[in-house]
């Protein structure tokens, strides 16, 4: 059928071409050329059949134009050249017939041709050349172009009729009215006019959102019809746009009209109905809005207008209607059970029973079209008894949901069942040709492998570059011995299954330049000397294990974790190198494919940082270490914590799980827990897990976790060792535990070795050695030599407050063999802020267990601050001892709140020792013993013990106070006054500050320096007592025969330049006096070295130094008096040279009697003064050495004099006289010069002036005392 076809300048022919050209015989039979346009028509009737030419414009040929024998004309109506031919109703024969069929749904049509379409006989071969006559026109609707319809109506289902008015209708008008809206008009107008100003088109829209059920039929009814003339044909088209507005749309922005689907000749006053069933059904499957346009099929002149009533029309019955007939019957479908088939196997024909009115449309869909394409769901049977057969795609496996749907056109019923396709593995060998891996021809078996198939490259396989060509899925990839290296390229993905990648026997390298998806947990095994490079993204939710001694290089990972595979990364051997992009993973990092794996591996981060959000685990058993190499500026971040070690589930001996991290980069471990060494569930001291983390060669190591455990367990505890970075470390944890057996077995010492750089430990709680002594805990530096490199800072986790530290702890468990813990900071500067420092707690709960704890803290540089210091705390029923030792050898150690030196309750004993050998121990709390069976001891052999007015001991005394050397300061009381301080050993002990203890300070050996004040008595039985400055004792002072009193004298100011002891009680002297005098002291100066502030005389004297005696010490002659000061003080006076000379030669310092200056003791004519001045013995027969020499101008006199008198003020003068008379003697013109000086005596030459005119001149030596 040619329906409405226009061919400009060409022909439309339905004729017999005979044997002409390439088209032979008749073009067709029973063909209709309907309302067409062409330059000419040749429509002829074949024998026993007919062809029609109706309503067409163009020249009608009189013959077919070929010599074909009989060639009768076809049946013509309303056809011919322009002016003769005229389009007829229906405009479209196809749509007219379609409307007719839809008008009676469910009917069968039997059509019989009655003859000439206009009821006139044919005039012959030329056909009819006139239009349809009036009789035809009046009957056209009744006879439908001479087609008799025999309607055999089938039984109809139960139904209901719904009538809907449009929700919007309007018409638009062109030309000058193009921008005008007519949405409120009461009529809807159509017209096709030669003038655009009069073109009109109508639009209607219905809302079907409230409609449900199967649509049996749907039709539109338009009433209130007026028409300008008979024959103004109208038509309807579907409008796809539903957004036009009733009161806004105009000709300019009107929606586009679709294809014509209905046409009619309107008659004034008669309602028009046309079928819209397909359009309604489609609308109900879409947006529920049905839009139509009504327009004229042609230009019918000035009177070509047609009007219909709009929804605003006053006559309600005339308003447009959509009349729906709906089937109330609901379809049903039977249940199909879940099915399982093997790969490449179809299901059986599964029965499916359809219920409800027929016919129904049965369809199927697959949720996994890659496994089962929808086209592979095939139905059989008929009517209500149907079958379905499902065929999986070739070489595919997995699971899909099959949905079966039956529909009556509107209402659907569904059933779903699961189809599981079990994989069947095939080994696919790569052929020698074909680089596109998605083509079957590239494989030896001529099919593309699909998981669970594996893809294998052998010696005969193609090498070099290959492309995926499509998304591929293999169970595994195997490379054996191809001739050259392999490179896979492409933007598509390769999904790998459980077989992973196997290069264990490979002779070449493999490079993957395409995305990879891990479809299953898998292993990539890279053989010795081989490299597997993955240069693109690797994704999937599965784990990846690196095996083999070769190298796996990952360079295409993404910095965003969600873009990478999410499972755990396991290194079982060889090297995994992550070389670019600083990737992050949601999974964890594991060394060792299983517990006790003996193979170690390497993670190489030389050029890329990497973050693992999951847990990190080292579970190998090898004395060799797994390694991580981190390059400069790169960081390995483990955000899910870390564990080194595993539960061996029995056995004997220790397992070794080691990790060594090196390089110029850094490592950060965050999350909940770090465990170095793992508990064994079975209780057996013969085996354990040893974990070792060595980051000593790493530039920086940092942690931020809740729990940091080293050698911690509950049944059988192993060893946890950490060697920190020798550059920089920050350990941040809520709890840091170094060795805790949990009351059961342990097997070796767990050690946290601090690095030679900076070490920052920030933990709220620090436990060192807990449980059994079979697993001691230790925190230390590698070297304890003073000044060794490395510092440590300890505080709480936030770094703003104090940490609580316990060293050696058996707390509430029943076990024998107590804990051993050591915090050793010797040789390094430490800054420690501790809330509670508990050294050795034994709170064992078993009365039959002899558990002993032993805790030790060493400190000798920096600042160590403690709020509460509790040492050797023994309690509960367990026997055994709590032993605690604090060694302070330097730095500043401060206790602010409480200081307990041992305590015991219950059973057992406590032993607490404080050793101070250097630095300062500054306590703002009394050092007290807690009582019970406690042995407490303080040993001082250097440093300063500063009590700040607090006591040493209380009602329960400190058992041993061994003060050898150092300084004790500001002690308020010692052992509640029952004892004092006893110095019994060598060395120098200094007491400074204000010391109000009432017990006796006893010196038996060594040196006691008193630089402050004492309240109690002071007794020196041996050794040396050295008051320095202005010390004082408020009580008695006794210097017994074995003791020495030492005083420093360097000037005349007491306290500042010489030492002076003030004694408020009795003073008893018997021991020697030792002076330490400085140079330049002036003779005659007095020094009160002992100030007895109480009444009464001093008892005794310094050994060998009676009252007013003169003695020599440090080169000075001293005169001692015990009656000096206010009458009962010891005063030393530096004797003049003359006094010292008299005391030496006459036993007195008085200038009287035989010792008088003017007395000549030996009768040699020289008095004592002259003997003293010239260094002679007054009891020996000696004379002054004096000589003279006359020169022309002078008389030179030479004599010997002692320097000591000279320094004591004696004046030496050489006088002259010419007469020897008593007067006058003169010194005029006399000069003296020193010829020699040996330090004791001087040889002096005096020059006396004279002249030749002077016949004689006498000279004499005159000595005058001061």
Residue 800 neighbours by CB distance under 10 Å: 9
Band (680; pLDDT cuts 50, 70, 90): confident
Under a CB-based contact definition with an 8 Å cutoff, are residues 327 and 214 in contact?
yes
The predicted pLDDT at position 106 comes to 46
Q: Which of 65-79, 168-182, 562-576, 999-1013 has the lowest mean pLDDT?
A: 65-79
**DSSP labels for 661-687?**
EEEEEEEEEEEEEEEES--BSS--TTE
* Dist CA 1198 CA 23 (whole Å): 170
Share of the chain above pLDDT 70, in %: 93
Share of the chain above pLDDT 90, in %: 71
The predicted pLDDT at position 1005 comes to 94
Residues in CB range of 1189: below 8 A, 6 or more apart: 1195, 1196, 1198
The predicted pLDDT at position 105 comes to 53
305-337 pLDDT per residue, tens: 999 999 999 999 999 999 998 876 778 899 999
User: Residue 659 above 90 pLDDT?
Assistant: yes
Under a CB-based contact definition with an 8 Å cutoff, are residues 739 and 768 in contact?
yes
The CA distances from residue 564 to 494, 518, 544, 546, 561, in Å, are 14, 10, 11, 16, 5
* Dist CA 140 CA 787 (whole Å): 122
- Give the number of C-alpha atoms closer than 13 A to the C-alpha of residue 869, restricted to the C-beta side: 28
Residues in CB range of 90: below 8 A, 6 or more apart: 96, 233, 263
- Name the nearest CA neighbour of 912 among 893, 934, 880: 934
168-182 pLDDT per residue, tens: 999 999 999 999 999
User: Residue 1255 above 60 pLDDT?
Assistant: yes
Helix (H) or strand (E) holding 508: none
Under a CB-based contact definition with an 8 Å cutoff, are residues 945 and 921 in contact?
yes
Residues in CB range of 1231: below 8 A, 6 or more apart: 1246, 1247
Residues in CB range of 969: below 8 A, 6 or more apart: 944, 945, 946, 947, 991, 992, 993, 995, 1012
* Dist CA 431 CA 52 (whole Å): 64
The residue ranking higher by pLDDT, 817 or 444, is 444
Residue 1228 neighbours by CB distance under 10 Å: 9
- Name the nearest CA neighbour of 837 among 827, 825, 851, 849: 825
* Dist CA 971 CA 978 (whole Å): 14
Pairing of strands 52-54, 75-77: parallel
* Dist CA 757 CA 779 (whole Å): 15
Band (1218; pLDDT cuts 50, 70, 90): confident
* Dist CA 899 CA 866 (whole Å): 9
737-756 pLDDT per residue, tens: 999 988 677 788 999 999 99
The predicted pLDDT at position 815 comes to 56
Residues in CB range of 530: below 8 A, 6 or more apart: 503, 506, 508, 509, 510, 548, 550, 551
* Dist CA 759 CA 779 (whole Å): 12
Interior CA angle at 170 toward 165 and 173, to 5°? 160
- Name the nearest CA neighbour of 1172 among 1201, 1207, 1149: 1201
- Name the nearest CA neighbour of 685 among 719, 709, 657: 719
Report the Cα 501 to chain-centroid distance in Å: 31
Residue 21 neighbours by CB distance under 10 Å: 8
User: Residue 527 above 80 pLDDT?
Assistant: yes
Indicate the average pLDDT of the chain: 90
The CA distances from residue 412 to 276, 327, 377, in Å, are 21, 13, 18
The predicted pLDDT at position 812 comes to 62
The predicted pLDDT at position 1186 comes to 86
The predicted pLDDT at position 69 comes to 76
Per-residue tokens: 213 = 């059920």
Q: Please, what are the domains in the chain?
A: 1-155 (no CATH), 157-327 (2.60.120.970), 337-422 (2.60.40.10), 425-514 (no CATH), 815-970 (no CATH), 980-1135 (no CATH), 1168-1264 (2.60.40.10)
Residue 304, preceding peptide bond in cis (omega within 30° of 0): no
Band (111; pLDDT cuts 50, 70, 90): very low
């Amino acid at each position: 059928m040619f329906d409405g076809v226009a061919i400009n300048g060409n022909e439309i022919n339905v004729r017999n071409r005979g044997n002409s050209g390439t088209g032979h015989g008749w073009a067709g039979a029973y063909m209709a050329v309907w309302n067409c346009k062409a330059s000419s028509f040749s429509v002829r009737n074949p024998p026993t059949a007919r062809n029609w030419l109706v309503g067409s414009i163009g020249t009608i040929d009189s013959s077919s134009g070929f010599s074909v024998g009989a060639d009768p004309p076809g049946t013509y109506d309303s056809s011919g050249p322009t002016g003769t031919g005229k389009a007829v109703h229906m405009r479209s024969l196809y749509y007219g017939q379609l409307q007719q069929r839809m008008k009676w749904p469910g009917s069968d049509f039997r059509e019989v041709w009655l003859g000439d379409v206009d009821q006139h006989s044919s005039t012959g071969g030329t056909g009819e050349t006139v239009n349809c006559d009036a009789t035809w026109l009046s009957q056209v609707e009744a006879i439908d172009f001479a087609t008799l319809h025999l309607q055999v109506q089938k039984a109809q289902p139960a139904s209901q009729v719904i009538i809907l008015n449009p929700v919007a209708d309007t018409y638009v008008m062109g030309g000058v009215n193009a921008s005008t809206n007519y949405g409120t008009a009461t009529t809807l107008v159509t017209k096709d006019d030669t003038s655009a100003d009069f073109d009109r088109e109508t639009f209607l829209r219905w809302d079907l959102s409230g409609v449900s059920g199967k649509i049996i039929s749907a039709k539109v009814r338009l009433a209130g019809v007026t028409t300008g003339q008979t024959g103004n044909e109208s038509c309807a088209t579907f409008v796809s746009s539903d957004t036009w507005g009733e009161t806004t749309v105009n000709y300019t922005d009107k929606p586009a009209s679709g294809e014509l689907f209905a046409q009619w000749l309107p008659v004034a006053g008669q309602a028009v109905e046309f079928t819209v069933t397909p359009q309604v059904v489609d609308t109900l499957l879409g947006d529920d809005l049905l839009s139509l346009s009504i327009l004229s099929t042609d230009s019918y002149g000035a009177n070509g207008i047609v009007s219909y009533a709009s929804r605003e029309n006053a006559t309600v019955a005339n308003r447009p209607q959509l009349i729906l007939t709906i089937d109330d019957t609901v379809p049903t479908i039977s249940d199909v059970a879940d099915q399982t088939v093997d790969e490449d196997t179809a299901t059986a024909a599964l029965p499916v029973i359809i219920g409800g009115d027929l016919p129904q449309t049965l369809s199927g869909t697959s949720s996994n079209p890659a496994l089962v394409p929808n086209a592979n769901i095939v139905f059989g049977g008929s009517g209500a008894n149907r079958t379905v057969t499902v065929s999986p795609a070739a070489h595919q496996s997995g699971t899909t949901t099959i949905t079966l749907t039956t529909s009556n056109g509107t209402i659907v019923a569904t059933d779903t069942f699961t189809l599981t396709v079990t994989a069947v593995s095939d080994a696919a060998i790569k052929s020698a040709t074909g680089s596109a891996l998605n083509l079957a021809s590239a494989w030896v078996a001529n099919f593309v492998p699909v998981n669970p198939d594996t893809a294998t490259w052998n010696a005969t396989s193609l090498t070099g570059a290959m492309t995926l060509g499509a998304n591929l899925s293999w169970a595994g990839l195997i490379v054996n011995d191809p001739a050259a290296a392999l490179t896979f390229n492409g933007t598509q993905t390769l999904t790998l299954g459980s077989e992973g990648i196997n290069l264990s026997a490979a002779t070449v390298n493999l490079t993957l330049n395409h995305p990879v998806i891990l479809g299953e947990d898998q292993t990539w095994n890279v053989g010795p000397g081989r490299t597997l490079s993955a240069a693109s993204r690797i994704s999937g939710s599965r784990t990846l294990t690196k095996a083999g001694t070769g190298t796996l290089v990952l360079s295409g990972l993404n910095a965003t974790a969600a873009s990478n595979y999410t499972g755990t990364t396991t290194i079982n051997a060889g090297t995994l190198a992550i070389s670019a992009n600083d990737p992050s993973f949601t999974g964890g990092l594991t060394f060792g494919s299983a517990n006790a794996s003996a193979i170690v591996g390497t993670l190489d981060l030389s050029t890329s940082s990497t973050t693992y959000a999951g847990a990190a685990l080292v579970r190998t058993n090898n004395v060799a270490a797994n390694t991580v190499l981190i390059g400069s500026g790169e960081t390995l971040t483990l955000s899910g914590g870390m564990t080194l070690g595993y539960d061996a589930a029995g056995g004997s001996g220790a397992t070794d799980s080691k990790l060594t991290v090196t390089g110029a980069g850094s490592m950060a471990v965050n999350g909940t827990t770090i465990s170095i060494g793992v508990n064994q569930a079975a209780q057996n001291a013969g085996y354990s897990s040893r974990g070792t983390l060595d980051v000593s060669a790493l530039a920086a190591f940092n942690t931020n976790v809740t729990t940091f455990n080293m050698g911690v367990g509950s049944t059988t505890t192993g060893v946890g060792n950490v060697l920190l970075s020798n550059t920089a470390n920050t350990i941040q944890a809520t709890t840091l535990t170094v060795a805790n057996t949990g009351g059961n077995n342990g097997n070796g010492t767990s050690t946290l070795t601090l690095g030679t750089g900076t070490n920052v430990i920030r933990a709220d709680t620090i436990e060192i050695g807990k449980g059994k002594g079979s697993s001691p805990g230790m925190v230390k530096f590698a070297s304890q030599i003073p000044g060794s490199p490395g510092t440590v800072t300890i505080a709480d986790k936030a770094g703003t407050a104090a940490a609580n530290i316990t060293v050696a702890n058996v707390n509430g468990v029943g076990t024998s063999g107590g804990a051993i813990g050591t915090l050793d900071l010797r040789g390094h500067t430490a800054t420690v802020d501790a809330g509670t420092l508990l050294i050795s707690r034994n709170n064992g709960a078993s009365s039959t267990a002899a558990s002993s704890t032993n805790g030790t803290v060493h400190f000798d540089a920096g600042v160590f601050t403690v709020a509460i210091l509790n040492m050797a705390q023994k309690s509960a029923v367990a026997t055994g001892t709590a032993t605690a030792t604090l060694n302070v050898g330097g730095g500043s150690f401060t206790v602010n709140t409480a200081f307990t030196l041992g305590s015991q309750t219950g059973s057992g004993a406590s032993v607490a020792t404080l050793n101070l050998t250097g630095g300062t121990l500054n306590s703002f709390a009394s050092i007290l013993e807690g009582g019970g069976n406690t042995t407490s001891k303080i040993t001082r052999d250097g440093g300063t013990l500063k009590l700040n007015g607090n006591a040493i001991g209380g009602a329960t005394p400190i058992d041993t106070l061994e003060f050898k050397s150092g300084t004790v300061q500001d002690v308020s009381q010692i052992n509640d006054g029952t004892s004092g301080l006893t110095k019994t050993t060598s060395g120098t002990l200094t007491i400074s500050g204000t010391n109000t203890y009432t017990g006796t300070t006893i010196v038996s050996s060594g040196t006691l320096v008193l630089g402050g004040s004492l309240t109690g008595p002071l007794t020196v039985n041996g050794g040396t007592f050295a008051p320095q400055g202005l010390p004082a004792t408020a009580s008695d002072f006794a210097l017994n025969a074995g003791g020495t009193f030492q005083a420093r004298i360097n000037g005349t100011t007491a306290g500042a330049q010489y030492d002076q002891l003030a004694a408020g009680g009795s003073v008893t002297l018997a021991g020697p006096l030792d002076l330490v005098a400085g140079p330049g002291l002036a003779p005659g100066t007095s020094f009160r070295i002992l100030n007895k502030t109480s009444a009464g005389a001093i008892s005794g004297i310094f050994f060998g130094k009676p009252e007013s005696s003169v003695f020599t010490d440090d080169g000075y002659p001293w005169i001692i008096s015990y009656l000096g000061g206010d009458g009962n003080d010891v005063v030393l006076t530096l004797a003049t040279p003359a006094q010292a000379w008299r005391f030496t030669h006459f036993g007195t310092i008085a200038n009287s009697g035989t010792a008088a200056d003017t007395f000549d003791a030996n009768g040699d004519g020289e008095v004592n003064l002259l003997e003293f001045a010239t260094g002679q013995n007054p009891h020996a027969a000696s004379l002054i050495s004096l000589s003279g020499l006359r020169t022309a101008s002078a008389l030179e006199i030479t004599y010997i004099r002692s320097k000591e008198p000279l320094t004591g003020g004696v004046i030496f003068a050489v006088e002259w006289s010419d007469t020897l008379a008593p007067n006058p003697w003169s010194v005029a013109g006399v000069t003296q010069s020193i010829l020699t000086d040996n330090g004791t005596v001087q040889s002096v030459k005096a020059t006396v002036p004279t002249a030749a005119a002077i016949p004689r001149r006498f000279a004499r030596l005159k000595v005058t005392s001061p």
